[in-house]
Amino acid sequence: MLGESPIGDYVAHTVFLNRLISEMHIARDKPVYKYMHVMNTHNPMVTNEDCVYAGGKIPTNRTSLTNQSKCTLDTLVRFFDQMKKLRIYDDALIMVHADHGGHVANHREGLPILFANGSTAIFQVASLASPLLMFKLPNASSDFKISKIQASLADISDTISGIMNWNTDFGHSSLLTIDPNVDRERRFRFYAWQRDAWESDYTGRIQEFIIKGSHYEEKWELGPVYDPPE
């Protein structure tokens, strides 16, 4: 089965999205919540610039990740277009986010990122701190635009709470109330990927960084270090 093969992740999940697009229909009058977790942009890279399967695994670099990410976004655009045809797009609250950024070089221009032991972080760390985060508000139909807000994935709950008027504070900020011209303090927690993570009770050492302002330009200050129990 494709879903059981690492090479098949992109292909299998794109097939799922394509089938969802073709068979999507309206069956209920009440609001519906849908959550989808897809791995289309995850390693391995298997698509070329035309979104055609390359025949197998290709090297992971900024170009191949950009191509595969574009192919995924193109599929999401077709999904949104189908929602528009069904006249459910305008009223929908849509959130698209990644769990982390990519394992490739980024555009960081600031000082090297240092761990608590004095070692220099690998170049991917700042890129991993750059996950995709997109919101489409209810009753909004304009195109998505890039925002200068210094956002964090931790803001997701407070943003949804503000949109839905839940009056519940989750301890972070709603993206609707953040001034894009103000530098924020944000926190990023990094730990090394473990091949056996799903078999372990704990991750390895987690290093927290405190970032005031742009994570591409400003110095990353050391926060707490969390070690697994001995």
Residue-wise pLDDT tens digits, 3-40: 445 566 899 999 999 999 999 998 888 888 999 999 99
Q: Quick one: how far is CA 73 from the chain centroid?
A: 12
CA 52, CA 209: separation in Å to the nearest integer? 39
Supply 67's token pair: 């191509």
In 171-181, which positions are buried (b, 16+ CB within 10 angstroms) versus exposed (e)? Answer: ebbbbeebeee
Do 133 and 221 belong together in one domain?
Answer: yes
Asked if the structure places residue 22 within a domain, the reply is: yes
Confidence of residue 110 (pLDDT cuts 50, 70, 90): confident
Contact between 107 and 76 (Cβ < 8 Å): no
Exposed (0-12), middle (13-18) or buried (19+): which is 118, by Cβ within 10 Å? Answer: exposed
8-state DSSP, 48: -
Asked if the structure places residue 211 within a domain, the reply is: yes
Asked if the structure places residue 172 within a domain, the reply is: yes
Asked if the structure places residue 167 within a domain, the reply is: yes
Percent of the chain predicted with pLDDT > 90: 73
Amino acid at 205: R
Asked if the structure places residue 100 within a domain, the reply is: no
Do 79 and 11 belong together in one domain?
Answer: yes
CA neighbor of 17 nearest in space, from 29, 9, 27, 28: 9
Look up tokens 């950009």; give the residue: 66
Residue 3 has a pLDDT of 43
Asked if the structure places residue 97 within a domain, the reply is: no
Asked if the structure places residue 105 within a domain, the reply is: no
Do 164 and 85 belong together in one domain?
Answer: no
Residue 14 phi/psi, 5-degree rounding, is -70, -40
Do 114 and 216 belong together in one domain?
Answer: yes
Residue 5 has a pLDDT of 52
Residue 7 has a pLDDT of 63
Do 47 and 80 belong together in one domain?
Answer: yes
Do 154 and 220 belong together in one domain?
Answer: yes
Q: Give me the mean pLDDT over the 107-114 stretch.
A: 87
Q: Kindly tell me if the per-residue pLDDT of 1 is higher than 60.
A: no
Residue 200 has a pLDDT of 85
Do 147 and 76 belong together in one domain?
Answer: no
Look up tokens 């997109």; give the residue: 134
Residue 81, domain extent: 1-89
Residue 6 has a pLDDT of 54
Do 75 and 7 belong together in one domain?
Answer: yes
Do 116 and 85 belong together in one domain?
Answer: no
Residue 131 has a pLDDT of 93
Indicate the number of domains in the chain: 2
Do 133 and 44 belong together in one domain?
Answer: no
Q: Give me the mean pLDDT over the 90-116 stretch.
A: 89
Per-residue pLDDT tens over the stretch 151-200: 999 999 999 999 999 999 999 999 999 999 999 999 999 998 877 777 88
Average pLDDT, rounded, for the chain: 91
Confidence of residue 2 (pLDDT cuts 50, 70, 90): very low
Residue 4 has a pLDDT of 44
Do 124 and 209 belong together in one domain?
Answer: yes
Exposed (0-12), middle (13-18) or buried (19+): which is 100, by Cβ within 10 Å? Answer: middle
Confidence of residue 147 (pLDDT cuts 50, 70, 90): very high
